[in-house]
Structure 1
Amino acid sequence: MDTFKFGDWDIYWLDGGITNMDGGAMFGVVPKPLWSKKYPVNDKNQIELVTEPLLVRTGDKNILIDAGVGYGKYDEKKKRNYGITREASIERSLAQLNLTVDDIDTVVMTHMHFDHIGGLTTPDGDEMRSVFPQAVIYASETEWNEIREPNIRSRNTYWKENWTAVQNQVKTFTDEFEVRPGMTMIHTGGHSDGHCIVKMEQKGEVILHMADLMPTHAHQNPLWVLAYDDYPMTSVYAKEKWVKDGLNNGWWFSFYHDAHVRMIKWNETGKEVTGELKRTPFTD
């Protein structure tokens, strides 16, 4: 299990599952000869995208950033369409840290697309139950409203089985919310109308978790946005601001989807890597 010591906090990446999505869709209008130099692609034009939540242990709180794809929810058609080659084993990851799902105090949802929220619920007979029953789940008000009333486009990723069992655990905010001192959720929009990033600060260092505004290290360029983005120009403007801030100030960038890199730090130009934590794949 990959870990990172961040001031007084410890960060772990949990086994939340793996998807393989169309590379063209993941890089939008960027030509394949450009993006394929930065991120590997298979013969089906798919790129591997892990869905591995960050567990942040602050000493008094166990905070999960997103929840993986979940398990037991996908028939063969969905596995094929979303390239799901591994379902989540979050409980097993927690057990390695002598934790259980009941030890998770807080879940921070950057947004509620299926590959981020799927692990919040799991089948229990004919119903769904909450996987983290003791946790408060934070999401932007905009995102929470949309998952409950999706439009013709978003209903393909906002599934009722992912939220009904946890609706009494959800608390919302509008623009910014301090989860705890040193951790702030910031509403950006773009990828979804309610999309958020997470800024973490400890002892003068900053980690910026850009979620699906920068799903992998190959998406550093503000113009390289996803075809899946509902509001692509909002994504561009948000990335332009936050990537610039991160590069100018020497911040870390952390990833949920990157199959190769957990965290990275670049110099001011963004062309030179000055720090990197590689991903170690999970094995059965």
Structure 2
Amino acid sequence: MSQAETKPRTNGQQEKNMSLVKTSHPGRPEELVPSRYAVQIGEIEVVVISDGVLPLPTKMLGHNAAPAARAAWLDEMFLPPDAFDWALNVVLVRSGDRTILIDAGLGLDPNLNLPRAGQLIKRLEGAGIDLGSVTDVVLTHLHMDHIGGLLVNGVKEQLRPDLRIHLAAAEVKFWEAPDFSHAVMPDGFPDALRATAKRFLSVYHNQLQQFEDEYEVAPGVVATRTGGHTPGHCVVRVASGGDRLMFAGDAVFAVGFEHPDWYNGFEHDPEEAARVRTGLFKELAATRSLLVATHLPFPSVGRVAVDGDHFRWVPVFWDY
């Protein structure tokens, strides 16, 4: 079975050959753990690519929750009580003649000592995807696990000189003097976030294409600012032929379906983030759209159902 050929069928649609990803490389052993997953949204090709995993304290899932409640949820989910691996997912989209990378993973900062993260560049290469074919990048926000891949040595030189990097103007403004007073992050993270965002904005300032509230990057691919997680956080909606998919970035975390009011430690406005999360869940349940998010377990493709006063995550059945 080829990893790149796995994709959920949508609404009885006929299976299509995915041209975005090569499926075999003679002489190169495949990874034992799948790292890419393809799905067709009408005429638009979407590939979820794993950037690896990031170990973090479990308190980051809901720092406003009672410790006993948080411990009970972790136990019910068969997760360790103190720290567990957060998935890091990136999406690649082809719509017409545009090839769009949505977020860019953590990168390879040697000071972070995170050997199981920052896998995006290697996995793009393994999928036969040339960085020079990417016409656009959309950044949901400027946290380092969403921009670091573009700061890996040698990456910028492989990108097109006319590459356009789309992000909300409010996000750029925020990082001029970021306020972390409402976030609850482990030691060292605030400084690392500031430094990485500052470096990114310096390196790529000529490629930035800022939008206010919404921007159509390509036919059927629309970035919309939500705020909450960061002031300029955005989601990306993909729609074609009656099929829909949303990449929700960091608006959605695994615990959020049952506890949308729990605050994630990286949220710069936790109350607004909770309102955004609930609103997106309601939209996804009503439209039956597919959902992909950065920190849901790979490949994170599924749907949202209403479950009483809360929500329920419904993973797709993998299509082999």
Q: Indicate whether the TM-score tops 0.5.
A: yes
| 8 Å contact from structure 1 (residues 19, 48) kept in 2 | yes
Amino acid at match of 1:55: L
Partner of 1:6: 41
Q: CA separation in 2, counterparts of 1:52 and 1:241?
A: 22
Distance 1:74 1:169 in 2: 26
TM-score by length of 2: 0.74
One of 158, 161, 164 as aligned partner of 2:202: 164
Mapping of residues 248-263 of structure 1, within 5 Å: 248-263=286-301
Higher relative contact order (CA 8 A, sep 6+): 2
Question: 5+ unaligned residues in a row in structure 1: which ranges?
Answer: 279-284
The answer to whether the 8 Å contact 1:255/1:262 transfers is yes
Q: What residue is the counterpart of 2:62 in the other structure?
A: 27
Tell me if structure 1 keeps the 8 A contact 2:74–2:80: no
Instruction: Decide which of 225, 231, 244 is 2:282's aligned counterpart.
Output: 244
Note if contact 1:120-1:131 (Cα within 8 Å) is conserved in structure 2: no
Q: Residue deviations 1:90-125, cap 9 Å, x none?
A: 33323344321111111110000011111111236x
How much identity, in percent, do the aligned residues show?
21
1:241 alignment partner, SS class: helix
What residue ranges of structure 2 are gaps of 5+ in the alignment? 1-35, 182-189
Deviations 1:221-243 (A, max 9, x none): 43133122111111122122221
Which residue in 2 is equivalent to 1:69? 106
2:118 aligned residue: 88
Alpha-carbon distance in 1 for matches of 2:100, 2:251: 21
- Name the CA distance, whole Å, in 1 between partners of 2:220 and 2:275: 25
1:234 paired residue number = 272
Q: Looking at CA atoms only, which structure, 1 or 2, has the larger radius of gyration?
A: 2
2:89 to 47, 52, 66: 52
Query: What is aligned with 1:187?
Result: 225
**Counterpart amino acid of 1:249?**
T
Mapping 1:82-231, distance limit 5 Å: 84-123=114-153, 129=156, 132-134=159-161, 135-151=163-179, 155-158=191-194, 159=196, 160-216=198-254, 218-220=255-257, 221-231=259-269
Distance 1:150 1:129, change over 3 A: farther
**Where does residue 282 of structure 1 map in the other structure?**
none
Q: Look up the equivalent residue of 2:304 and give its one-letter code.
A: W
Q: Secondary structure, in 3 states, of the residue corresponding to 2:275?
A: helix
